Structure 1
Amino acid sequence: MVRAFFPGTFDPIHYGHINIARRASRIFDELIVAVYDRPLKSLLFSPEERIALVRAAFKEEENIRVIGYRGLTVDACRMNGAQVIVRGLRVFSDFEYEFRMALANQRLGPDIEVVAFITDEQNTFLSSSTVREIASLGGDVSSMVPPHVALALHRRFFELGEGQQIVPQTSLRD
Structure 2
Amino acid sequence: MPRIAIYPGTFDPLTNGHVSILNRGLRVFDKVICALAVNIRKTPLFTVEERAELIKMSFPDDRVEVDTFDGLLVEYARSRNVPVILRGLRAISDFEYELQMANMNRKLDDEIDTVFMMTEESDFYVSSSLVKEVARFGGKLEGVVPAHVEQKLIEKFSK
Deviates more, 1:64-73 or 1:112-121: 64-73
- Aligned counterpart, 1:157: 157
- Counterparts of residues 41-60 of structure 1 (less than 5 Å): 41-59=42-60
TM-score when normalising by structure 2: 0.95
Q: 1:39 to 1:10 in 2, by over 3 A?
A: farther
Offset at residue 39 of structure 1 (A): 4.5
1:13 aligned counterpart, secondary structure? coil
Runs of 4+ in 1 over 6 A off after TM superposition: none
- Aligned counterpart, 1:35: 36
- Aligned counterpart, 2:68: 68
Offset at residue 62 of structure 1 (A): 3.3
User: 8 Å contact 1:9–1:39 — kept in the other structure?
Assistant: no
* Structure 2 counterpart of 1:148, one-letter code: H
Q: State how many pairs are aligned.
A: 158
Which deviations, in whole Å up to 9, do the C-alpha atoms of 1:61-90 show, x marking residues without a partner?
Answer: 231111111111111112222110000000
Supply the distance in 2 between the matched residues of 1:74 and 1:135 (Cα, whole angstroms). Answer: 33
- Aligned counterpart, 2:13: 12
Which deviations, in whole Å up to 9, do the C-alpha atoms of 1:14-56 show, x marking residues without a partner?
Answer: 0000000110111011110111112422211111111111111
- Aligned counterpart, 2:78: 78
1:153 aligned counterpart, secondary structure? helix
User: 8 Å contact 1:3–1:81 — kept in the other structure?
Assistant: no
* Structure 2 counterpart of 1:124, one-letter code: F
Which deviations, in whole Å up to 9, do the C-alpha atoms of 1:114-148 show, x marking residues without a partner?
Answer: 00001110010111011101000000112111111
Supply the distance in 2 between the matched residues of 1:41 and 1:75 (Cα, whole angstroms). Answer: 20
Supply the distance in 2 between the matched residues of 1:81 and 1:56 (Cα, whole angstroms). Answer: 26
Structure 1 vs Structure 2 CA RMSD: 1.0
Supply the distance in 2 between the matched residues of 1:38 and 1:119 (Cα, whole angstroms). Answer: 23
Q: 1:14 to 1:65 in 2, by over 3 A?
A: same
Supply the distance in 1 between the matched residues of 2:29 and 2:108 (Cα, whole angstroms). Answer: 22
Supply the distance in 2 between the matched residues of 1:80 and 1:39 (Cα, whole angstroms). Answer: 22
Structure 2: 5+ residue stretches without partners: none
Q: 1:54 to 1:125 in 2, by over 3 A?
A: same
Supply the distance in 2 between the matched residues of 1:114 and 1:64 (Cα, whole angstroms). Answer: 18
TM-score when normalising by structure 1: 0.87
1:56 aligned counterpart, secondary structure? helix
Supply the distance in 2 between the matched residues of 1:62 and 1:21 (Cα, whole angstroms). Answer: 13
Structure 1: 5+ residue stretches without partners: 160-174
Aligned-residue identity in percent: 40
Supply the distance in 1 between the matched residues of 2:82 and 2:142 (Cα, whole angstroms). Answer: 33
Which deviations, in whole Å up to 9, do the C-alpha atoms of 1:88-113 show, x marking residues without a partner?
Answer: 00011111000000011111121100
